[in-house]
Structure 1
Amino acid sequence: MSRAFCIPGILFLLCAFVLNFLVSISLPYLTALDIARTHFGDGAIQQTNVQGIAEIRFGIWAPCYYNTNDDRTCLRTGHGYSVEIANTRQTEAITVKSSWTRGLAVHPVAAAATFVALLLSFSTHVTVTLLASLVSFLAALITLIAFAIDIALYALVRHEMKKLEIGANTNTAPGFWMTLVALVLLLLAGCTVCFGRRRDRLSGATTTSTHTKPSFLDRFRRTKA
């Protein structure tokens, strides 16, 4: 494949893999790469003896709680965790069930598919480059599913936190936007590989036709000889 298309495609896939990989690590290991986070204006109390919460962050593998002194407590609950929150007056309580966080495990699958596409993109063989393009689009589809799950979790958390009536403010987090950027990069990578392969086919066809088609004057030269 033409280097003008090969190098950008590899760079797109590399960046997408790094983003998907970092998001897949998430909480509690990378505390800044969560999917959604909620700030409490009045403070809240969590049902598992974590009191005075000022902020809660939702990661892929665990939630993390921050008190008013910015001290962090991350529960190592693993895949498919649930969160129970109640306000300080104990008048309202909400639960984010594990069914809403279990789907976040799609992120590592997207990272693995992106890595496979990245490895295939280093080949110059026509069949392998076509396969790299297909795997790139597959990784983009899986990343799209992961992003849809992130949107669903954010919408649920935002809706539920309002029930506490303590001025909770829910926002998207860095992991949310990194997934979106990875999705765009994967689409660009797949298109770049496709365009590069098409350009090679067209250039090859042009070269072949130029060398095989005789001109009108060549017929007379051959007869004269």
Structure 2
Amino acid sequence: MLRFLNVIIFLAAFLLLLLVSVSLPITKSITYFTLTAGFDAGAISSGVSGGVSFGNWGWCTTPLVVEVFGIDRTEPGECSEAKIGWTIDQRLVDLLHLEGLQDAVNSGLTLALVLNPIACGITFLTLLFVLWFAWRQTRLSAIIGVCVGVVAAILTTIAFVIDIVVMTLVKKNVENVSSNFHVTYGQTTWMTLVAMILTWIGIILFCIAGFRGRRVRRKEETY
């Protein structure tokens, strides 16, 4: 029973990391953070307000509202091309007045963009070994599974720490530039946190299941 529970735990951790790894713009509802901006020029009754959300493979803008002499004009949102190592489009920088924030955002996300998919891949390998152990309780499957699982847990923990540090630094740097900028956290940080907790719990249960399986085999050999 314990080994099958472990399968569910690692499956859940893998699915969470997978969703993080295929976040925006592939999965538009899952983001790292959203940067909103609003600028007003009261003398001529003009301004612009809008936002941009960042994900593992790019960014998407919310509809941008441009006001000129009291007349609102809305530009539809758009998404960047899905790719790793993306940068903020210059037109978006000009429209939302993001000058000086490009380096803070782009460099800050680099580690998180790379590490989360790696942690997802190692967690999937751990899931395979857990399935192997659930199907056939062998000493080899237990040892390899625990070793790979520990690597997955460590990588997921590092990914979570990096997510927290990066998001905190980006929020601080962005909002220090101007009160017109505001950063809100997305879902990926908390999804990574849950995956990290599940992975460590899974490792503990894996060790317990392996120890119990070994004791059962010894009793069978004795009798």
**What is the TM-score when the length of structure 1 is the normalising length?**
0.76
Greater alpha carbon shift after TM alignment, 175-184 vs 69-78 = 69-78
Asked whether 1:140 is paired with 2:137, we answer: no
**Superposition deviation, residue 22 in structure 1:** 1.1
Asked whether 1:106 is paired with 2:132, we answer: no
* SS in structure 1 at match of 2:29: coil
Counterpart for residue 78 of structure 1: 83
* SS in structure 2 at match of 1:73: coil
* Whole-Å separation in 2 of the counterparts to 1:91 and 1:109: 30
Counterpart for residue 8 of structure 2: 11
In structure 1, stretches of 5+ residues that fail to align are 45-50, 212-225
**Superposition deviation, residue 163 in structure 1:** 3.1
Closer, same or farther: CA 7–171 of 1 in aligned 2, 3 Å:
same
- Of 90, 97, 115 in structure 1, the residue corresponding to residue 124 of structure 2 is 115
**Superposition deviation, residue 87 in structure 1:** 8.4
How many residues align? The count is 199
One-letter amino acid matched to 2:140 = T
Asked whether 1:126 is paired with 2:135, we answer: no
Q: Contact 1:12–1:189 (CA<8 Å) still a contact in 2? A: yes
Counterpart for residue 160 of structure 1: 173
RMSD: 2.7
Counterpart for residue 64 of structure 1: 60
- Of 165, 172, 182 in structure 2, the residue corresponding to residue 169 of structure 1 is 182
**Superposition deviation, residue 193 in structure 1:** 0.8
- Of 14, 21, 29 in structure 2, the residue corresponding to residue 32 of structure 1 is 29
* Whole-Å separation in 2 of the counterparts to 1:24 and 1:36: 14
**Superposition deviation, residue 167 in structure 1:** 4.0
Percentage identity across paired residues of the two chains: 24
**What is the TM-score when the length of structure 2 is the normalising length?**
0.77
One-letter amino acid matched to 1:63 = W
* SS in structure 1 at match of 2:60: strand
One-letter amino acid matched to 1:94 = L
